Amino acid sequence: MSTGEIEEEKVQRFSRPLILTLTLQGQIRHRRKLSKELFFIDVFLSDTQVKEQVLFRCDDGSTTRDMVQDNYRMARPGSIVRVEVGLPTDPREDSTYKVWQSNVPLIVIEPYNDPKRTFISDPPLGSKGPKPTIKRQDGSIKEKSQMFCKFWINQRECIRFPNCPYLHPSEEVYEQARKDWIDDRLTVRKIATHDPADPHTSKKSHAMRAMVFVQWINEIFGDILIDGVGVLDIAGGKGDVSMFLSHAYNIPSTVVEPEIRKRPNHWYTRLRRYACRIAQNQDPNSTAPIEEKWPYELEPNYMGTLLDDAFVEKYSDIVAKTGLLVGMHADQATEPIVDMALKLGKAFAVIPCCVFGHENRHRRLKSGEEVNTTEEFVQYLSEKDTRIQKSYLGFEGKNVVLYYKP
């Protein structure tokens, strides 16, 4: 179909202007997203005690994608909401049940906020009943009757029981069932998130990610981290990365973290064992006895603050002695690390994770596309400077590292 034919089809399809004529109020019983430009909610109305459907879309030109995405985030099942609606712009949306459309902000009157019980959504309006199968994250199809109920596994409670189609293991086999359920989810996730460019086939566990990262840092940047030149570990949490840098490689490191975390004794014990095995060239998972003493006594420094221009000015002496800025799954701090390092002309290494796309709508790839996924975020950061390089680290989860070495 040509571009002209597509536009003509749109004109014919969206033949009604969206005129808001009614206000609906009630509880969201179901939400389903078809694309970034289109989603539905089923609302149980407070006054008539019936369910009606509200459509939010921007592909008809009635509103913007940002507005649709904002409404989607607010439209959480279980919440009491109020919304202004009118007849859908596409007459084909008329159905045996009432369908409305809105292009204004959804008003949340009472958010669903029960920490002990997840809201169980109703089947969607127009549904012919629950399907006996489910499409999983890796694309496979599996019978629900052969899968464990996630609510039962996590909370030992299921509101739909005994009508729930999933398995509900008894107490005698619960622990094994939970282990099987977790293993299955991890396997499916690995398949779904597999990156064919990742050369690592045997990876360390998530708990060892800091150790793997620091070993890589020493290999790539060891030649500049000498004679007291240190590292700024941005948004470093409790300081796993800095502990390995200081105690395993004698590299000065400063954790820049607004919220100073508790560092319990068992945390120190675990990291010390890993550091000792690194120093003695042993497998970190080994159970062989070792002398559990830090290879180096150098302690990392902790600063309860943010990395920004004020930090650079106030702590210019620390910045002057810094050769590398790092961030391992630093969330909101990832982009500022890259920007600050490039501004200062210093080396950096970051492992991007969460995108927070809705809070950073200014981000655009060179192609003009929005940045919503981790892969797009990696590309966005890479496009800041042609000298930025990319590699993969040998641990589970988000393991792409972007780095720059002046």
Contact 56, 101 (CB under 8 A): yes
What stretches of 247-313 adopt beta strand conformation (E)? 253-256, 301-303
Residue 1 above 70 pLDDT? no
Residue 80 above 70 pLDDT? yes
User: Whole-angstrom Cα distance, residue 9 to residue 43?
Assistant: 30
Residue 49 CB coordination number (10 Å):
8
pLDDT band at 60 (very low <50, low <70, confident <90, very high): very high
Q: 198 burial class (0-12, 13-18, 19+ CB within 10 angstroms)?
A: middle
Angle at 82 between CA 77 and CA 87, to 5 degrees: 100
Task: Tell me the three state secondary structure of residue 268.
Answer: helix
pLDDT band at 262 (very low <50, low <70, confident <90, very high): confident
Contact 88, 59 (CB under 8 A): no
pLDDT at 313: 95
pLDDT band at 32 (very low <50, low <70, confident <90, very high): very high
Instruction: Give the domain ranges of the chain.
Output: 3-110, 133-192, 206-404
121-125, 152-156, 295-299, 320-324 — which one is most confidently predicted on average? 320-324
User: Whole-angstrom Cα distance, residue 303 to residue 318?
Assistant: 11
- Look up tokens 């409404």; give the residue: 71
User: Whole-angstrom Cα distance, residue 131 to residue 121?
Assistant: 15
Angle at 141 between CA 139 and CA 142, to 5 degrees: 135
Provide mean pLDDT across the span 291-317.
90
Average pLDDT of the chain is 90
pLDDT digits (tens, 9 = 90+) for 343-382: 999 999 999 999 988 888 889 999 999 898 999 999 999 9
Residue 387 CB coordination number (10 Å):
10
pLDDT at 322: 96
Calculate the alpha carbon distances from 27 to 43, 56, 87 in Å.
5, 17, 20
pLDDT at 5: 53
- What whole-number percentage of the chain has pLDDT above 90? 63
pLDDT band at 71 (very low <50, low <70, confident <90, very high): very high
pLDDT at 265: 87
pLDDT at 187: 86
Provide mean pLDDT across the span 88-97.
87
Confidence (pTM): 0.80
Q: What is the CATH number of domain 3-110?
A: 2.40.50.140
Show Cβ contacts of residue 122 under 8 Å, excluding neighbours closer than 6 positions. 29, 30, 42, 51
Residue 289 above 80 pLDDT? no
pLDDT digits (tens, 9 = 90+) for 217-227: 999 999 999 99
pLDDT digits (tens, 9 = 90+) for 320-344: 999 999 999 999 999 999 999 999 9
H-helix or E-strand spanning residue 248: helix 240-249
Q: 348 burial class (0-12, 13-18, 19+ CB within 10 angstroms)?
A: buried
pLDDT digits (tens, 9 = 90+) for 213-249: 999 999 999 999 999 899 999 999 999 999 999 998 9
Question: Which tokens belong to 373?
Answer: 């996924």
What is the signed CA dihedral for 100, 101, 105, 111, rounded to 10 degrees?
40
Q: What is the CATH number of domain 206-404?
A: 3.40.50.150
- Look up tokens 């149980």; give the residue: 44
- Look up tokens 């702590």; give the residue: 315
More confident position, 275 or 106? 106
Residue 286 above 80 pLDDT? no
What are residue 299's phi and psi, to 5 degrees? -100, 140
User: Whole-angstrom Cα distance, residue 232 to residue 130?
Assistant: 53
